[in-house]
Structure 1
Amino acid sequence: MFAIVETGGKQYKVREQDIIKIEKLNASVGEEVTLNKVIALTDINNNMIFAQNTTVTASILEQCRNDKIIVFKKKRRKNYRRKNGHRQYMTVLRITKINNME
């Protein structure tokens, strides 16, 4: 059984005991978080059902930063070059339970 969860503007396909990296959540390591925006859910026979009263519970394993992304701008023949780097803050979650209220 898996669920499709939306958080941080992105959608993730998760099962119990999965580990995912999402956009930063304001919570500390070891806390339990509830993801309320469940888009779809499968039942035991792998049939997609609309998840109306479903939540996903996860525990925070780590608060970290993602790999560096290099942004390089250049205009030819004008000696214009700019190089910037960016590291996005990420949260590592372990999915502990998919709660179906129906």
Structure 2
Amino acid sequence: MAKLVALYRMPKDTEAFDRYYYGTHVPIARLVPGLKKYDVSNGPVASPTGASDYHLVATLYFDSIADIHAGLASAEGQAAAADLANFADGGVELLMFDTHEV
């Protein structure tokens, strides 16, 4: 299993972010080829010391890193990446990695 984690920093307008994210971005991102599962944080994103500067964390699941790269290289993946500029005004950090159970 491989994951792409999107860490969305606090936007200027959280309500506008949420409206756009769920109404527009999620439907675009769900079309990325190879995507197996997609979940997002629910409620505030905290750190061990309290509040964080993150508004939302999204985790997208794929079979492999190669599948993530292929998905992002596709027309659907390019559309999802291009859409980030339309709502993620606080910034977004994307992390990709393979996983294994321990």
Same fold by TM-score, threshold 0.5 exceeded?
A: no
Pick the TM interval, shorter chain: under 0.3
More strand by share: 1
By relative contact order (CA 8 Å, sep 6+), the higher-ranking structure is: 2
More helix by share: 2
Larger radius of gyration, structure 1 or 2? 1
Q: Give the TM-score taking structure 1 as reference length.
A: 0.27
Q: Give the TM-score taking structure 2 as reference length.
A: 0.27
